[in-house]
Structure 1
Amino acid sequence: MRKLPSSVIPSCTWSRPIGLGWDEPYTVRYASNIDDGYWHGMPLGGFGAGCIGRSSRGDFNLWHIDGGEHVFKNIPACQFSVFESFGSSSQACALCTEPPEDASLRTWQWYPGSKKVGREENSEEVKQTSVTPSSPQSQTGTYHALYPRSWFVYEGVFQAELTCEQFSPIWAGNYQQASYPVAVFLWTAHNPTHAPISLSIMLTWENMVGWFTNAVKSPLVRVRDDGSPVYDYQPRLGESQGNFNRIVENNESIGLLLEPVNMTEPPQEGEGQWCIATRKQPNVEVQYHTRWNPVGTGEEVWQSFAQDGSLPNHVDNTPAAEGEQIGVALAVRFTLQPGETLEIPFALTWDLPITEFAAGTTYYRRYTDFFGKSGKNAWTIASTALAEYHVWQQQIQSWQQPIIERQDLPDWFKMALFNELYDLTSGGTLWSAASDRDPVGQFAVLECLDYRWYESLDVRLYGSFALLMLFPELEKAVIRAFARAIPSCDETHRIIGYYYVIGAESPMAVRKTAGATPHDLGAPNEHVWEKTNYTSYQDCNLWKDLGCDFVLQVYRDFLLTGADDVEFLAECWNPVVQTLDYLKRFDKDEDGIPENSGAPDQTFDDWRLVGVSAYCGGLWLAAMEAAIAICDILLNSIDQKENTSTQECDRPWKASIDIEELVQQKSIYETWLTQSRPIYQEKLWNGQYYRLDSESGSDVVMADQLCGQFYARLLGLPDIVPVECILSALKTVYDACFLKFYDGKFGAANGVRPDGSPENPNATHPLEIWTGINFGLAAFLVQMEMKDEAFRIAYAVVQQIYENGLQFRTPEAITVVGTFRASTYLRAMAIWAIYLLID
């Protein structure tokens, strides 16, 4: 007899009783920030293909189908339902605990949610194993998530034991299936009783073709109250005129295809197909309804389904009229004898091949390299899924199992390690089709949903470790895009949002200066990868960390992906030279280190730094060391090739590298490093930790003060400061920013005085706990053999996220009063840096 999936659900999942809400969830810090509430579950779908989300109450409510755009809305007709007949009784439930708020589907019965019946316990034993404390509850089942898998285990309602495992084919190093627009729902039904049980599992879905594209083709960009640029996005929800549904089948599978009558060739954004399908099996009856009203009473499908689990096999291919919406239903009916177990797979797919940025600027999605670009392949994708889902499931398990089985890692860490990868699916992710220039396509993830621009370089300094470790070719594709952008210039002038917020007159700033490293790769309403520096909260041409961030990530990506892709280094070399030359212009006193200007000109873009700063100065020193190391590798590679035959050393990159210039640049960087290293120590070391900066007179202990040192040691470069100073500074950070800041309950604050008190109680960034910075700090602690301290910080942050309704929308920042800012944030994937250092 086959084991139930519930028996093999890993112990380290994040779990939540089905339908149980939160008493005091975190809420947004600023009213203008996105706050969808706490009903978020693990997303389903491939990278860059668009994704959907299903929460722990059972509703499908997240629709990131249009690249870079966010739609959060429960569409009740998109749902699983179960009919059960046992003995003389029967029942049917739609498997969501929240009925529609309007009068739609009023004939349906809805699944009962779990209820809390006692106070939550908070034992030390529970803390060590899970971030979800146990509590006495009236449970109707449990939702589990360990990305890219999640499970619904239904209990106490049906006689049958029912589990639904959900997943998409995501595993490390997979550059094909990870792009597929598909979700697999693998049902396992077991009869534990001594009598037969008749069951029917139904999937209903709306024809949503054409819904996910912006009705405003040239949206006006405006400055929001927090100084960020925003634009209107109006999806075409409910606009189904001309859509129709039909049956499709082959020898193995049967499905329902949802499509438009007329589709443009080539298709436009939003055009294509959806499909739901299941496998044919002996002694299993598949029934269907091809056209019903999903915003009506729902009786067309519910009347027969609630009576005996059947559907009328109704076929109607009539297209939707104006103002009409249409849905489909697919039901699998079977009988389980006592002790019998049956597995029922469903596949949900969508083929919407085009992503459009500004009107007329379009890209094909990566999955079209494998299924074609016509937008007519949803059934082919579904058939593939139903043929291969067991292989996909095994691939995921083989990737996850070595980590799951590690005894030196607590369950809460394993849980967060995998679940924080959700952002690679639902972070507005783009993954374009391959080209000669980009053989695995171009890739990008949003900074977050509130700051909707791609791959912010300062944020990904920590946040890109997951991509680097699991999908290194995509990581290098992102860095290549930054390298291509550095020489470019955009003379467009614009106001700076920061001055708008503080009520001062804003200077006009050029969007992108030649030689400056851009902050980001652009936004979905313009032209991602080509039109960079979308954010205008600060003038990013003045930032003192971006150039260093670029150099360090170039060398890191080379070193940690085998240290053999010299062509990648060579591609990035001229941009490295350009951006370091540009950054050196800000060394006004010629002491070797670029000074911060007094405006917030780095990743903490509400925090004024003046003169030489610990944060930016340290990154500068590490970047000098990395640049010197790159010079050595290129010189050695050229020397080696000079000693081989002409045929063997014929590499395109060699022609772009001048040996004399390399030698000269290395000498320049060595001079700058020799000059700046003692200055950094002299101006900033106070005997206990590194001062915030050299001119403000602040005594704040900055949590991330030695980010440059962390990177230097990570990359095998010489320490930028003495070891005894590193340890003293780290211990001070741990004591002041973590232990003395609300007793370490929330994590480490960005910057407080040595006694844990605020320098300015009204400050923003210094008193926030940044999730990604905390994970980066924890990685640094592990690096310096302070693993216990590292795990205490990481645990505090993970606990705040997963116990307060922030799961699968991890924010940039949380506060001690239960607020958050900037959900679905890229930097939180820095938790993979901890694993890298432990491993």
Structure 2
Amino acid sequence: MTSPSLPHIPACAWSRSIGAGWTQPYTVRYPSNIDDGPWHGMPLGGLGAGCIGRSSRGDFNLWHIDGGEHVFQTFPACQFSLFEQVDDPENALTQAYALCTEPAEDGSLEAWQWYPGREEEEGRREEGGERRETESSDSGEYFALYPRSWFVYRNVFQAELTCEQFSPIWAENYQESSYPIAIFEWTAHNPSDRSMTLSILLTWQNMVGWFTNALKSPEVKVRDDGSPVYEYQPRLRESAGNLNRWIQQEGAVGCVMDRLSPDRPKVDPVSSDQESAETQEGMGQWAIATHANIGEVFYHTRWNPIGSGAEIWNAFAEDGSLPNLEDETPAEEQEQVGVALALRFTLAPGETKQIPFVLAWDLPVTEFAEGVKYDRRYTDFFGRSGKNAWTIAQTGLQHYKTWQQQIQHWQQPILDRRDLPNWFKMALFNELYDLASGGTLWSAATQQDAIGQFAVLECLDYRWYESLDVRLYGSFALLMLFPELDKSVLRAFARAIPAEDTRTRTIGYYYTIGKPSPQALRKAKNATPHDLGAPNEHVWEKTNYTSYQDCNLWKDLGSDFVLQVYRDFKLTGSTDYEFLADCWPAITATLDYLKAFDLDNDGIPENSGAPDQTFDDWRLQGVSAYCGGLWIAALEAAIAIGEILGSGEWGVGSGEGGTAVSPAPQAFMPMYQTWLEQAQSVYQETLWNGKYYRLDSGSGSDVVMADQLCGQFYARLLGLPDIVPIDCAHSALQTVYESCFVNFNRWIQQNAPALSPSSARANRDSPLPPDSSLLTPHSSLPIGAANGVRPDGSPVNPNDTHPLEVWTGINFGLAAFMVQMGMQKEAFELTEAVVQQVYEHGLQFRTPEAITARQTFRASHYLRAMAIWGIYGALTGF
């Protein structure tokens, strides 16, 4: 970006040539897992409002509109197009393109001319095309720095063109961040000495009613990886009754897409106070809009988006106009209807203009199981009728410049830091994509929840919300940017801990190893649940959806809860005593429940020999470094919380001199202190081997576990006493760096020569197959730290799963620990290796839980990867 007339794009933004594909992107490890391919771009849309992704080839292709559900496909009629006419003394040169490099796969819109991608542009110029020759064959570039992204178009049009896309998301903004809106600000500059006419066209398909599950009571099955899964059948292209209206109001022009149905009478599309039947999930409105005073406005409110597209394209390609057809006839069965809005304007030599377009939607209801409905957060500001898309769009046109400035103001202090490399700044912001596209829920406010309830899926393959073990690292972003939302999640866990669900189910892990499964209780009383439920049941109320393992037996969840509660109190000013008081009963209940697994009464709950913690395919036996360390840190946190709540020096509500807390904290302090003293002694004596902490006390393994001292990291983070001697912590962390990162990647190079893609695919379900051969053509680059290897970096078993995977979020958490311990150089080496794998191999905006040396991945759109904000927090002192 060199032209002073075009918008400034931060140097750290992720970029890719428009339409440029990937030679060998990462592919999914298990065939049953989701692999949509590498064409992912930054999502647009507010948190919990539904979002839409647009890839670097220009297509809108990710549709997370129905809360918690995933649709990935391109609807070609949803697109920007551009017409250009350059005045010439002899004749006018005209051209028009739909701004996507991929024509419709189904043969529709055959009349449209599609934008040339990099390879196509090279071919056209080699053949001596009539348009001007340039030195570069590059037709432009896509940039992304969440929540902003840009398309910069080059060497096709003579105008200099940029489209900036964003939604109004910035830190501690609990209103606009929830809006269902996308802003597209076009900047057009004429660098020539001749005037030119441009026309920007936005077309959209009426999608009202599409994004809702047609299977109201889907059957839950166990798939090949042992995870529960249910069918989702959206009502795509079911458009009967859909109709479109042209609107001009208060300087704004555009189209509202609506639907008529027997229970929804025809109403004024711009009035939100009319009576109507209860809005159903997926029902409401969509709208597109722009300013009327920038140029000539053209429109078409009823064209066929699955036909040839000629009724739109012929006029637009000729002179940038549309027929100005206004037709509100509802769609018949099997019929589709679209809208089109074009704005034509002239640029004098050297002139620059900015033109905003807005896409808004008002689909106010999220439904889980049939009849379990929640209104979305944005309805607190726009109402719940489902007739407010135009109002939302108008709001965007009025305020988008202010929103733009707010985003820049939030991001700029980080962008200005010279001590942070650009790749880190890029990943720091772009990993926030999951706050919007992680199946995100944000409900309307209630008396109990003043800003609503919030939740993000663990991932798309493990489709349940806010897995507590995963968010131990993955929630740093939410805590640092939207702390009240993070507290709302923990309050939901606090309410769930004392609840009981006596239903039983099959445990999927035994299915994967070919053994009969015991029937396990869904949720034991006082056990900390693993998750807050799934989109097909009742999120926040029916917890512990996952059935891969019996989470009632896990040894880390109770500790994870206590640590996150104290973390949120400490890192938000240490003044929210009411939050601590709300969570205290659950803290005492879960610690008591977890202590029952201390079968030898030595102060530390033992692991059972089954995978019973976040590494749920990895058997730990007896006292383990991972769970034992978290337990010790959690006891320290519980003692600190109890002392605060028992001091009587704070007040809740209108009480004088403090409000009594139940159960009384003083009753627990001696017991917690006894447990802590026992545990610390046992932990050090049992697990320390002089260099690092053993995996556990029962297996005899010499494996170096990367996350062995997570509890120590949390203790120091929260200003608690060290759980181990500090020199031991330094030694262990240095050993992790050398064994799991340096030696592991060296071992790969020495023992795993690259295979061809076809032969590697045959063994993709193993991170390192028995012959130890690899796929990756980028074998000179490290892939990150393995979860657990021998000191020399070699695997215990080349066919191990979790130990040999590189978990993105665990690597970021480990890097935060390294920063905390003064190992910043090593932290950045580790972080850069993972970021490089994600953003250079087609995993952007779908960051997985795990990658392997075979260039495969598992579990895309994963929550834990937002742990990169923990690194930034460690660097800045939170």
Q: Tell me if both proteins adopt one fold, taking TM over 0.5 as the criterion.
A: yes
Alpha-carbon separation, structure 2, partners of 1:164 and 1:287: 20
Give the corresponding residue for 2:869: 832
Give the corresponding residue for 2:108: 104
Give the corresponding residue for 1:795: 832
Structure 1: gaps (5+ residues): 119-135
1:629-668 alignment runs, 5 A limit? 629-636=640-647, 638-639=648-649, 649=656, 654-658=659-663, 661-668=664-671
- Superposition deviation, residue 656 in structure 1: 4.0
Give the corresponding residue for 1:77: 77
Give the corresponding residue for 1:762: 799
Alpha-carbon separation, structure 1, partners of 2:251 and 2:641: 55
Give the corresponding residue for 1:271: 283
- Superposition deviation, residue 3 in structure 1: 7.6
Taking a change above 3 Å as real, the CA distance of residues 470 and 641 of structure 1, as seen in their structure-2 partners, is closer
| CA distances 1:496-551 after superposition (whole Å, capped 9, x unpaired) | 00000000000000000000000000000000000000000000000000000000
Count of aligned positions: 812
- Residues 115 and 137, structure 1, Cα contact 8 Å, conserved in 2: no
Structure 1 range deviating more: 77-86 or 136-145: 136-145
Alpha-carbon separation, structure 2, partners of 1:621 and 1:763: 29
> Which of 389, 409, 420 pairs up with 2:400?
389
> TM-score, structure 2 length as denominator?
0.91
- Superposition deviation, residue 6 in structure 1: 4.4
- Superposition deviation, residue 635 in structure 1: 1.5
Alpha-carbon separation, structure 2, partners of 1:64 and 1:114: 29
- Residues 7 and 162, structure 2, Cα contact 8 Å, conserved in 1: no
Partner of 1:73, secondary structure, is coil
| CA distances 1:576-623 after superposition (whole Å, capped 9, x unpaired) | 000000000000011100000000000000000000000000000000
- Residues 4 and 190, structure 1, Cα contact 8 Å, conserved in 2: no
Whether 1:332 aligns to 2:336 is: no
1:546-625 alignment runs, 5 A limit? 546-625=557-636
Alpha-carbon separation, structure 2, partners of 1:561 and 1:639: 19
- Residues 116 and 137, structure 1, Cα contact 8 Å, conserved in 2: no
Alpha-carbon separation, structure 2, partners of 1:449 and 1:317: 38
Give the corresponding residue for 1:722: 725
Letter in 2 for 1:279: H
Give the corresponding residue for 2:763: none
Taking a change above 3 Å as real, the CA distance of residues 832 and 116 of structure 1, as seen in their structure-2 partners, is farther
Alpha-carbon separation, structure 2, partners of 1:475 and 1:647: 25
Taking a change above 3 Å as real, the CA distance of residues 285 and 647 of structure 1, as seen in their structure-2 partners, is closer
Give the corresponding residue for 1:697: 700
Give the corresponding residue for 1:731: 734
> TM-score, structure 1 length as denominator?
0.95
| CA distances 1:458-505 after superposition (whole Å, capped 9, x unpaired) | 000000000000000000000000000000000001110000000000
| CA distances 1:142-177 after superposition (whole Å, capped 9, x unpaired) | 000000000000000000000000000000000000
| CA distances 1:161-212 after superposition (whole Å, capped 9, x unpaired) | 0000000000000000000000000000000000011100000000000000
1:78-477 alignment runs, 5 A limit? 78-86=78-86, 87=88, 88-115=92-119, 138-262=137-261, 263=264, 265-282=277-294, 284-477=295-488
Alpha-carbon separation, structure 2, partners of 1:350 and 1:647: 42
- Residues 505 and 520, structure 2, Cα contact 8 Å, conserved in 1: yes
Partner of 2:298, secondary structure, is strand
> Which of 537, 545, 550 pairs up with 2:548?
537
- Residues 577 and 650, structure 2, Cα contact 8 Å, conserved in 1: no
- Residues 53 and 60, structure 2, Cα contact 8 Å, conserved in 1: yes
Partner of 1:115, secondary structure, is helix
Give the corresponding residue for 1:133: none
Alpha-carbon separation, structure 1, partners of 2:561 and 2:93: 66
Alpha-carbon separation, structure 2, partners of 1:385 and 1:105: 30
Give the corresponding residue for 2:523: 512
Letter in 2 for 1:682: E
Letter in 2 for 1:617: G
Taking a change above 3 Å as real, the CA distance of residues 650 and 348 of structure 1, as seen in their structure-2 partners, is farther
Alpha-carbon separation, structure 2, partners of 1:623 and 1:548: 5
- Residues 137 and 155, structure 2, Cα contact 8 Å, conserved in 1: no
- Residues 649 and 657, structure 2, Cα contact 8 Å, conserved in 1: no
Identity %: 70
Partner of 1:557, secondary structure, is helix
Letter in 1 for 2:15: S
- Residues 618 and 706, structure 1, Cα contact 8 Å, conserved in 2: yes
Give the corresponding residue for 2:760: none
Letter in 2 for 1:822: A
- Residues 4 and 188, structure 1, Cα contact 8 Å, conserved in 2: no
Partner of 2:203, secondary structure, is strand
| CA distances 1:36-59 after superposition (whole Å, capped 9, x unpaired) | 000000000000000000000000
Alpha-carbon separation, structure 2, partners of 1:279 and 1:52: 23
Letter in 2 for 1:177: E
Q: Which runs of 4+ in 1 moved over 6 A?
A: none
- Superposition deviation, residue 647 in structure 1: 5.8
Alpha-carbon separation, structure 1, partners of 2:64 and 2:373: 17
Alpha-carbon separation, structure 1, partners of 2:144 and 2:353: 22
Alpha-carbon separation, structure 1, partners of 2:197 and 2:701: 72
| CA distances 1:734-777 after superposition (whole Å, capped 9, x unpaired) | 00000011247000000000000001111000000000000000
- Superposition deviation, residue 137 in structure 1: 7.2
Taking a change above 3 Å as real, the CA distance of residues 751 and 6 of structure 1, as seen in their structure-2 partners, is farther
- Residues 5 and 165, structure 1, Cα contact 8 Å, conserved in 2: no
Structure 2: gaps (5+ residues): 123-134, 265-275, 747-780
Whether 1:688 aligns to 2:691 is: yes
Give the corresponding residue for 2:790: 753
